[in-house]
Amino acid sequence: MKTERYLQALLVKGGSVAALYLSQVFLARSALTLDEFGRFSYLVSVLNIASFICLWGVDKYLVREVAVHHDAGESAPAWAEIRRAGRVATLNAILGTVPLVLYLEWARPEQMDRGLLLVAALALVVIVLARSSAATMRGFHRVVSAEAALNLVRPLVLIASIAAAWAWRGKLEAPWLVAGMAVSFLVVDLALRGAHRRVFPPPAGARDRLPLGKLYRDCAPYLLIGVGLPLLSNLDVVLLGNLGEDQDVARYAACARVINLAIVGLVSVNLLIAPKLPVLYQQGKHAEMQALLRRNNVVVALVSLLPALALLFFGGWILASFGEEYGSASDVLHILLIGQMINVCVGPVNLICMMAHRQRAASRLVLVACAIEAALCYFLIPSHGAMGAAWANAGALGFLNISLAVVVAVELKLDPTLLNLLPRRQA
């Protein structure tokens, strides 16, 4: 894999993190009170979890299947999978609005009015469609384009839409922010759908007849792991919102946004190898897979160290960019950093499991990690607040990544960790 592609991915992902960070800083400092930012962050976490449930794992399935058909030049079966997955995602998203509304009314009845519930339901539908479209682009080996659209262009559209609403209305509340988020995802979805046809044109007049039931069965393992990871990333925020105060949620959410700076390298380069792994695995090229992982880890190690050190020593100052009241959460940031550094050190273990047909084993471990996080949250949050949520997240994330590394090492005979950068003795 060429160095230019790594640099391109790193620049796009770095820009994405910067755009997401700036959008949240803008909201926290200009448009929202501390309580309202906590309320909005809670809604975002709930929508993230709900969107991956509605996707039913088709995003992970599409990356693998579309990549294989694309590499073989098989346009008809690739587009059959894309259309079938799109129907499943759309149907699930529409049906998913009902339990979403019921949950929000149950969890926070005093803060949910009809307008907010309606906007949240619409946002869920467009979020699901945009994530499905981005997965298709990744399958076409346009990983950087998908990342740029979903996580670079989208935050900029969000900032523009919120700024326009703020200039018009002045003080903003959660419904307007969720509406802005929905608009940003809609713009991304429409742009990606147009790009699909330019990148890999569908055959003229072709229409698939693939049964939806089979796709539901094929994607079930991806559902568990596809939902499990967003659940693991957002469950702490949701439970902190249910068990704690909105101000704690606001500070904790700011820490979660900042912590993304430490994993820019990991995420950006892993995006590039995602379409390569299933092809190498199907071809039985074990040595090439290990070499790809080693090159991947070189870049990850180089680009993860400096951000981690910056957060360790200047975390409080960085948090203060959200506002003076956020700087006191630096201890929470440091705990979250521990979990993410374990994530960096073990390598792209979750990605390997998904692309090498080990998704069932991975999904079971993800569910166990979610159960661990939920139990720790219920035990620690009432007495320790945001600190308890941070320890729950770091502990569950550490368990998951170490367990997945063992699965990859034992079942696939691959070393995904940064230890594969050490020189090996020749037998």
- The span from the CA of 283 to the CA of 330, in Å, is 47
Average pLDDT over residues 14-34: 77
Per-residue pLDDT band for 267 (boundaries 50, 70, 90) equals low
- Of 388, 396, 332, nearest to 367 (Cα)? 396
- The span from the CA of 66 to the CA of 83, in Å, is 11
Query: What one-character DSSP code corresponds to residue 260?
Result: G
Query: 200 — phi, psi (to 5°)?
Result: -145, 80
- The span from the CA of 120 to the CA of 43, in Å, is 8
Beta strands in 211-327 (DSSP E): none
pLDDT tens-digit profile of 380-399? 999 999 999 999 999 999 99
Average pLDDT over residues 282-311: 82
Average pLDDT over residues 154-171: 85
% of the chain residues with pLDDT over 90: 37
Maximum alpha-carbon separation in the chain: 71
Per-residue pLDDT band for 208 (boundaries 50, 70, 90) equals low
- Give pTM, 2 decimals: 0.83
Average pLDDT over residues 337-363: 84
Q: Give pLDDT, residue 27.
A: 80
Q: Give pLDDT, residue 424.
A: 60
What is the pLDDT of the chain when averaged over all its residues? 86
- The span from the CA of 384 to the CA of 391, in Å, is 10
Per-residue pLDDT band for 10 (boundaries 50, 70, 90) equals low
Q: Is 284 left (phi over 0), alpha (psi -120 to 50) or beta?
A: left
pLDDT tens-digit profile of 96-150? 999 999 999 999 888 888 889 999 999 999 999 999 999 999 999 888 889 889 8
Query: What one-character DSSP code corresponds to residue 74?
Result: -
Q: Give pLDDT, residue 427.
A: 43
The vertex-180 CA angle with 179 and 183, nearest 5°, equals 90
